[in-house]
Chains A and B, each alone.
Chain A
């Protein structure tokens, strides 16, 4: 019974923000994929905010990667986030734009993922 993943989808005029909380691993990456499917149907790009996320592993990174292959996706990982180092070693930034704050998302605008 892994109920640790919580997410919130906030659609706005020019993007869809999805905020993730808790821990993401093999046990709940399927739930994350469902959340991403929901967000993918809304206004692109999908901006994933992980500032409140406690843990993410390769299963989570794979889900983000798969989403980015379908719709324009960006990830916001503040340097102080608990998952910052995990994102750093994941190599995800090679395939998905990763920003340090929501402001950077605005200034750079939508980038092809």
Chain B
């Protein structure tokens, strides 16, 4: 049965009882109208209701009692002797009292319920606090604990919350911690607002972090009388968070480090020499790391105390100069890193200086203010050198350790690139000496043609290899000139060049003309690996007939300059590179080539420049050939290289042949000159060449002295003709012929001069000629003056 139903049943019982009392008292009053008591009974009923029943029932019963009493009183009409008025007053007052009683009772009941509820609630709270794992407590303004749960006690190193009552923090905790907490409490008292604090307390020897909400405790008047606090142990959460942040930072650093290593790797991959590699790597570090001085040092393989610095960053020029090469008798960390193979680091300049006192002044001068890291640059087991970085400012511990890790990853990348570069450099050197050895050529001695060759290595060692030239005298008196250039570079290109050159040498000896040589080469390159796409130019000079035949396989055109200075690029028979068959067969180009003409054959390194059309290079070459046309041909290759690379670095190798047709035959030398003193030198050179060699024909070798005599005597005769011969271009003819042991030189000009001994210069010239020559004759006719010299040729003794 529920309480509510019980109440209803109780109410009903009281109502029945009260109504019964009213009925009984009514019957009693009617039966004994004189008796007072029955008449008073209804009041009793009202009081009963007031005590036992609800207010509503009490009011109903009281009202009924008053009505009943009043009716009975009117009916009995003062038979009892009580005046009606008093009776009425009595009954109304009584009924009122009964209602008041009921009201009071109801209020008390309600208060009781309230109190019971309150009691219940507070016990719930207490249970809540007691069972909470989080410290909950109250303090008064003096800082004494009013109330604290066991969790609070445990946080403060006690067992029960009761133990804290009346104590202060300073009695329970270390001074510093207690001071901190009390200061926080004061802050809450002063501000009167809720505040949040984070405190670290040592619990069971472990630090615990508590996040505490403290709220002011106010009395009825709003004064702060204490505080309530709820704390939360956030140790685990905080630690997890810290770990998470740490790992996030680590991850970020790791990824930054990876990026840096990747960037260095990609930049050193395109650099080919050690200096560039070191420079690129240091540039990346300079851009990504805090201010520092960096160096890449290469140590000598067999002497770790000897080194060479490849690159610096953030180093003063004077220090860089001092540290460029080995400093004798100094103990360096690089030496220790190279010999031990292990990296080193110093937390700051003081540590660094303590370990290497020799370097103290340099460490200060370099502005080192932070850590220094040194890592060996290793390629496999070989240690090539050292990467060192000295920071100018201190680094945080995580930054320092991640920098160290980065450098440790970076060092092998740089090391391998350096090793690779060293190999390439070595290969380039081998290729170059191979090349030079193969091109060493005993230039054929032929009195009819002057030849000069050069192989000039470019600055780019790795571009070496592949350029060649060759000169082959043919049985029929012609001379074959060849230049070529193999695709590719270094040792590979040099070996291909060797095979191609040998093949071509064999072909020119057996075939009739350059076009045939090239078309046979087209077949041959298919059997020589990597020889396809090589370019070459082949020219046959026939001095006796004064003709030139040539053919080109994709090669830059040869330059021909005639004695009168007209220049031509031989571009008319440009075929494709070797092995590339065009629609038409290889063709020969042909030119007449008179005595005094020059021919320049070269490889593209001479004319090609980056970002410039080839035509510009060809124009430059033509101008240079024209400008140096009076220079002796043996100086021409060097002169052309000087002129063409005066304002541009020669990067690629250049192979070149310069040829000048001196005479048609070994027996006869002819040359036509301008009346220009600058013609003298090359004329002398040509004559000396013609006189000197043991010619292919009937001439015998001539002594050096005899050659000098001939050249001096003829030069004097030519000088006379230039000065007095009437001038003009191509106005002087020189004809020299051998006749057994004699040599006849005839210089003919357009002037009408006579030899004069009065002229101090010409007089001496005449005297020289007379002394050198067996015979001297000067004839003047209408056409001009002819000087004839006869000299005796003497063989070398």
Q: Are B627 and A1 interface neighbours, CB within 8 A?
A: yes
Cβ contacts under 8 Å, A25 to chain B: 677, 680-681, 684, 715, 719
Whether B723 contacts A26 by the Cβ 8 Å rule is yes
Identify which of B680, B764, B771 contacts A61 (C-beta below 8 A).
Answer: B764
Residues from chain B with Cβ under 8 Å of A85 in the complex = 705, 708-709, 712
What are 27 sample pairs from A and B whose C-beta atoms fall under 8 A apart? A1-B627, A1-B630, A1-B678, A2-B681, A23-B681, A25-B684, A26-B723, A55-B684, A55-B711, A57-B715, A57-B765, A58-B719, A59-B761, A61-B761, A61-B764, A65-B760, A66-B760, A82-B708, A85-B705, A85-B708, A85-B709, A85-B712, A86-B712, A89-B767, A89-B771, A89-B772, A91-B767
Residues of B within 8 A of A61 (CB): 761, 764
A62 interface residue (CB < 8 Å to B): yes
Select which of A1, A55, A82 is within 8 A of B628 by beta carbon.
A1
Residue-wise interface mask of B (748-766) relative to A, using a CB-CB cutoff of 8 A (1 in contact, 0 not): 0000000000001110110
User: Closest CB-CB distance, B363 to chain A, in whole Å?
Assistant: 50
The 5 closest A-B pairs by CB, nearest first: A27-B677, A58-B765, A62-B761, A26-B677, A89-B771
Contact present for B719 and A59 (CB under 8 Å):
yes
If A1-B630, A89-B768, A89-B772 touch, whether A57 touches B709 (CB-CB below 8 Å) is: no
CB distance from A1 to the nearest CB of B (A): 6
Closest CB of chain A to B792's CB: distance in Å?
A: 14
- Pair A58/B677 contact, Cβ less than 8 Å: no
Indicate if the CB atoms of A57 and B712 lie closer than 8 Å.
Answer: yes
A8 contacts partner chain B, Cβ-Cβ < 8 Å: no
Are B680 and A58 touching (Cβ within 8 A)?
no
Q: Kindly provide the distance from the CB of A31 to the nearest chain B CB, expressed in whole angstroms.
A: 11
Tell whether A90 is near chain B: CB-to-CB under 8 Å: yes
What chain A residues lie within 8 Å of B337 (beta carbons)? none
Give the contacts of B705-727 with A (CB-CB under 8 A): 705, 708-709, 711-712, 715-716, 719, 722-723
Least CB separation from A88: chain B residue:
B771
Which A residues from 68 to 113 make CB contacts under 8 A with B?
A: 82, 85-86, 89-91
CA of A46 to CA of B760 in the docked complex: distance in angstroms?
21
Evaluate whether A2 and B768 lie within 8 angstroms (CB atoms) in the complex, with A57-B715, A85-B708 already known: no
Indicate the member of A1, A23, A57, A86 with the most B CB atoms within 10 Å.
A57
Known: A1-B631, A2-B630, A91-B771. 20 other contacts (CB 8 A): A1-B627, A1-B678, A2-B681, A23-B681, A25-B681, A26-B680, A26-B719, A55-B715, A57-B765, A58-B761, A58-B764, A61-B761, A62-B761, A62-B764, A65-B760, A65-B764, A85-B705, A85-B709, A89-B771, A90-B764
Give chain B residues whose Cβ lies under 8 Å from the Cβ of A62: 760-761, 764
The answer to whether the Cβ of A4 comes within 8 Å of any Cβ in the partner chain is yes
Chain A residues within an 8 Å CB radius of B708: 82, 85-86
Task: Report chain A residues within 8 Å CB of B767.
Answer: 89-91
Complex CA–CA separation, A15 to B204 (angstroms) = 105
Q: How many B residues, CB 8 Å from partner?
A: 28
Could you say which residues of chain B place their CB within 8 Å of the CB of A23? 681, 684
Cα-based distance from A26 to B761 in the complex (angstroms) = 10
Least CB distance, B713 to chain A, in whole angstroms:
9
B762 — which chain A residues lie within 8 A by C-beta?
Answer: 58
Q: In the complex the two chains form, what is the Cα distance from A27 to B679 in whole Å?
A: 8
The smallest beta-carbon distance between B688 and chain A, in angstroms, is 10
The chain A residue with its CB closest to the CB of B711 is: A55
- Are A26 and B630 closer than 8 Å at their CB atoms? no
A55 to B525, CA, bound (A): 49
Q: How far is the CA of A91 from the CA of B767 in the complex (A)?
A: 8
Please give me the residue from chain A that is nearest to B719 by CB atom. A26
Chain A residues within 8 Å of B764, by CB: 58, 61-62, 65, 90-91
Contact B681–A27 (Cβ < 8 Å): yes
A69 to B214, CA, bound (A): 120
- For window 1-49 of A, CB contacts with B under 8 Å fall at 1-2, 4, 23, 25-27
* B747 nearest CB across to chain A (Å): 14
User: Would you give the shortest CB distance from A26 to chain B, in whole angstroms?
Assistant: 4
Q: How far is the CB of B596 from chain A (nearest CB, A)?
A: 17
Residues on the A chain within 8 Å of B677, using CB: 2, 25-27
Give A36 to B771 CA distance when docked, in angstroms.
27
- In the bound complex, residues from chain A placing their C-beta under 8 Å from that of B715 are 25, 55, 57
Q: Complex Cα distance A70/B190, Å?
A: 116
**Chain B stretch 305-360: residues in CB contact (< 8 A) with chain A:** none
B residues near A59, Cβ cutoff 8 Å: 719, 761
Q: What is the bound-complex CA distance between A58 and B678, given in angstroms? A: 16
- Contact (Cβ within 8 A) B768 A86: yes
- Are A90 and B768 in contact, with the CB atoms below 8 A? yes
Q: How far is the CA of A62 from the CA of B708 in the complex (A)?
A: 20
By a CB distance below 8 angstroms, the chain B residues around A58 are: 716, 719, 761-762, 764-765, 768
| Distance of A27 Cα from B678 Cα, bound (Å) | 5
Task: Tell me, in angstroms, the Cα distance from A4 to B680 when the chains sit together.
Answer: 12
Q: Report Cα–Cα, A95/B779, bound state, in Å.
A: 31
Query: How far, in Å, is B640 (CB) from chain A's closest CB?
Result: 13
CA distance A36 to B427 in the complex (A): 53
| Interfacial chain B residues near A66, Cβ < 8 Å | 760
| Interchain nearest-CB distance for A34 vs B (Å) | 16
Complex Cα spacing A25 to B718, Å: 11
Inter-chain CA distance A91–B712, complex, in Å, is 14
CA distance A85 to B764 in the complex (A): 14
Q: Given the known A-B contacts A1-B631, A57-B712, are A27 and B680 also in contact in the complex, defined by CB atoms under 8 Å?
A: yes
CB contact between B716 and one of A57, A65, A82 (< 8 Å): that residue = A57
> Would you give the shortest CB distance from B98 to chain A, in whole angstroms?
150
Q: List chain B residues, Cβ under 8 A from A55.
A: 684, 711-712, 715
Chain B, Cβ-Cβ closest to A65: B760
- Complex-state Cα separation, A23 to B716, whole angstroms: 14
A112 to B730 CA separation, bound complex (whole angstroms): 45
Closest chain A residue to B627 by CB distance? A1
Per-position 1/0 for B171-200, Cβ under 8 A of A: 000000000000000000000000000000
